[in-house]
Chain A
Amino acid sequence: MKIVIKNGRVIDPASRTDDTLDILIEDDSIADISRGISVRDGYGVIDAGGCLVLPGLIDMHVHFREPGREDVETIYSGSKVAAKGGFTSVCTMPNTDPVIDNQALVRFIKLEAEKGPINVFPAATITKGMKGEEISEMGELIGAGAVGFTDDGLPVMSSILMRRALEYSRMFDVPIITHSEDLELTDDGIMNEGKNSMLLGLKGIPREAEEVMIARDVILTRLAGGRLHVAHVSSGGSVEIIRRAKSDGIRVTCETAPHYFSLTDDAVAEYLSMAKMKPPLRTENDRKAIIEGLKRGIIDVIASDHAPHSPNEKMQELEYAPFGIVGLETTVPLIITVLVKENGFSYFEAFEKVTINPARVLKIERGELKIGSIADVTIIDPEKKVRIDESFMLSKCKNSPFMGKELSGSVEYTICNGNVVYSNK
C-alpha cells in the first residue's frame, strides 16, 4: 500500500522542517519526503492543501479504564477516540482495576491494543498495588512493554520510597512520572483554594499541595538521580520550581493539560462537575504562567489526562462527582485556538509538545517525520472550525467543560503505521 500526501505544509518540530512538501508512505514507513512526488497507479492520494502535516501526535497521559471500568472506556474504544483526536500513540496510566503492576497485565494491554488503530505504550505502577509500600518489578515490567512508571491518581507520599524508585530506575533510564500532590494538604478539597472556593463554599485544594510535592520530587531527583517527569502541572509556582530545577541541571521534564491553559476556576460555578479535576483549575495568573512555561519550553509536553467518567458519576452533587474530564478530542482544537491563535505560538512551539518531546521522555521511536521512520502522520486543518458537542464526541463519555464551544483546528486524517485510521472526509 502506497499513499502520497500532496501539497501539505509539513511541520516537523524535531528537524525544524516547515515547508510545502509531499510525503510518500510505503507500507508502514515513510519512503520519501520531497517536492512534487509523482503519483503512480495504485497510489492512494491525500490532498493536504491548506493543512498541516505533522508527525503522528503522542498523548502521554490517558486513562483507558481497562481493565475494570470497561463501561466507561476500553483500550479499543479509547484508541478509536485517540485516532479521531489526531493521536497515533498514547501512554496509558496504570491506575486501573486491577492496577498495572505485573508483566501479565502489561502484556494484556499490548494485546488489546493490537485490535485497535493506534500504538499504545503502557505505563506501569511505581509501587506494587499502587499502595506506596514497595517498588514494582521495573525490569520485568519494562520487559513486557512498560515505558514509564507512575502511581498516577495518587502521589508516592513516602519520601524514602520515592528516593528508592528514582535510584532503582536509573539502570533502565525510564521516567518516573509523578502525580505530585500532598494529600494531607489537599484535605478532601475539590477545587482550587482561593476566591472562588470561598464564594462557593467548596473545600479548597491549595496550589501548595502540588508545589510542595514537586519541590520534594525534584530535590529527591537531585539526591537519587533518575529521570523525573511531573504530570499535569497546573500552577505558576510549579512552573517556577521546575524552571529552577532544570537550570540546576536536575533531570526533570513535565507536562500540562489543555484545560490548564484554557480555563480557570471561574469555570467551576458554571460547569460544576464538568470542571472538576485534579489538580484543579487554577487562576488567570496560573493560566498565563502555564502558557509562558510552554512558550519558554519549561513545560515540555501537553497531555490530555483523558479521564472518562460515566454520566451517572458526573451527574451528581459536585462534591461527590469524581475528578477528571475527557480530552483526547479537544487537545488539537485547544492547541490551535488558545496557543497558536490567541497566544502567537509557532507551530514548532505548539506541536513539539505532542510529538518529539513526549517521544523523548518515553524513549519511543515516534514523533518525527523522516525517511525510513514509521509512517505515523496527522493532518490538521488549522482554520476549520469544530463544534464540540454530543455528535462531535466519539468518546464513550462526554464529561467535558468544552461542550458547546466552537474551536479552530480540525483533525482531517490520522495515519498510523501506514494505515489511515481516521478520516474526516
Chain B
Amino acid sequence: MRELSDFNMSSLKRKDLLDIQSLSVEEILLICRSAKYFKDIFTRSVKSVPILRGKSVCTLFYEPSTRTKLSFDLAAKRLSADLINFSVSTSSVVKGESLIDTVHTLEAMKVDYIVMRHAASMAPHFLSRNIKASVINAGDGFHAHPTQGLLDSYSIMERRGSLEGGSMEGLHIGIIGDIKHSRVARSDIEAFKKLGARVTLCGPPTLVPDAFEHYGVEISYNLDALLPQLDVINLLRIQKERQKGSLFPSLREYHRQFALTDERYRRCRDDVIIMHPGPVNRGIEIDDAVMSSPKTIINEQVTNGVAVRMAIFYLLAGGAPLEEMSEERGSLENSN
C-alpha cells in the first residue's frame, strides 16, 4: 500500500477539527488516505500502535451518544492514548458549572485533546478559542459532525475504489430525510461537494429549507423520481419528536413518502450504495429487508469511523514519521 509519506502533506496544520467547511480538499483526502492505513492496522490481529503514548484524550459529551463516543474511545485506545471520559450525568455540569469553567479545569489537568459533543451549535468553536488543547468536534447542535462527514466520504470512496484518485466526480448522492435539523447532513453535503459529487437533498419542504441551495445542491420532494438516478443513498434518522412541531403529519405518512422500502429498493441502481449514520429507525427510514442487503454498508461505516478518528488524532498530533511508526508496529508484532 501507499505510505503516508507519499502524500504532499503529512499532518494537519491546524489545532482543531471543528467542521468540514474549514478543511481543504487536500486535508480531507489526507485524512481519508491515512484512515486507510489505520484500518489496515486494526483489521489485523494487533490493533494498537503507540502513536499517542503519553498523550491524554478527554471525551466531553454534553449530549448522550453511544456509537460516536465508543468510536472515539476505541480510536484513542488503539493509538495508546490515556483516555478520560467526562459525561454530563456524572460531572459537575449538573451542579451548574459553565462550559468555560469546566474547560479551564481540563486545561489545568493538561489534557491534549478534547473530543466534544454538544447540543448547542458552535459550542466547540467557542471552546477552541479559549483553550490550548486540540478540540475535535464530535457533533454540535445542527451545525457539524465532521468526523461523520469524513467517514461517509471515506466509505463511499473505498467502496467505489476511488480513494487513490480522491474524487467523487460523476457520483450522484441523495441525502434523504430531516436535513434541516441534521449536523450529519451539513457535514456530508460540505464533504461530498468539495470532493466533486452531485448532491440532491430529499424530504418534505418543512425539513429541507430552500436555504440549503446555497451549498449548490439540488432539492427534490419526490423520492420515487429521484431514486433511479442515485449512486449513493444516504438516509438520515428521523427524530420522532419533530412531528410535534408539525414538520410532518405522521410517521406513517413520512414512511409512505420517504422511506427506503423494499419496493423502492428494487428500483435502485444495481451498484447503489445505501448508507445511514445510525442509529436506525427500522421501519421508518428504511425497511428491515433493505437493512440486510449487500448494498447496505451501515456496519462498514462504523468500522471506518474508528479508522477515520484514528487518522484525525494522528494527523493533529503532527503526523509522526511513518518509518518509525512501522518499526514500532513491527516490534509490537514481534513481541506478541
Contacts and interface: CB of A to CB of B under 8 A. Distances in A.
Interface stretch (A94-102, A196-204, A245-253, A334-342): A196-204
A202 B126 contact: no
Given A317-B118, A320-B120, A198 B211 contact: yes
Interface string B101-123: 00000000000000000111111
B209 A198 contact: yes
How many chain A residues sit at the interface, stated as a range, is 20 to 34
Contacts of A273: 126
* Chain B interface, DSSP helix/strand/loop, else mixed: mixed
A207 to B, nearest CB: 13
A199 B141 contact: no
A194 B126 contact: no
Interface in A368-419: none
A191 to B, nearest CB: 10
A319 B209 CA distance: 21
Given A199-B186, A202-B141, A317 B212 contact: no
- Of the listed residues A195, A202, A312, A318, the one surrounded by the most CB atoms of chain B closer than 10 A to its CB is A318
Contacts of B141: 201-202, 319
B190 to A, nearest CB: 9
Contacts of A200: 121-122, 143
Closest 4 CB pairs of A and B: A201-B143, A201-B142, A317-B120, A198-B211
Contact of B121 (A194, A315, A319): A319
Given A193-B211, A317-B118, A318-B122, 6 more contacts: A194-B211, A199-B21, A269-B125, A316-B126, A318-B123, A319-B121
Nearest to B183: A201
A272 B21 contact: no
Contact of B122 (A193, A195, A317): A317
A198 B99 contact: no
Nearest to B245: A187
Interface of A: 193-195, 197-203, 269, 272-273, 312, 315-320
A195 B120 contact: no
Interface residues of B, number: 24
Contacts of B130: 315
B8 interface: no
11 contacts: A198-B211, A198-B212, A200-B143, A201-B186, A202-B121, A202-B143, A272-B122, A312-B98, A315-B130, A316-B100, A318-B126
Interface of B: 21, 98-100, 118-123, 125-126, 130, 140-144, 183, 186, 209, 211-212, 214
B142 A195 contact: no
B32 to A, nearest CB: 23
B138 to A, nearest CB: 14
B122 A202 contact: yes
Nearest to B129: A272
B5 to A, nearest CB: 35
Given A316-B100, A317-B120, A198 B214 contact: yes
Contacts of B211: 193-195, 197-198
A149 B257 CA distance: 51
A318 B100 contact: no
A199 B209 CA distance: 12
A53 B125 CA distance: 45
Given A195-B211, A317-B120, A319-B121, A201 B144 contact: yes
User: Chain A CB within 10 Å — which of B99, B122, B214 has the most?
Assistant: B122
A198 B121 CA distance: 11
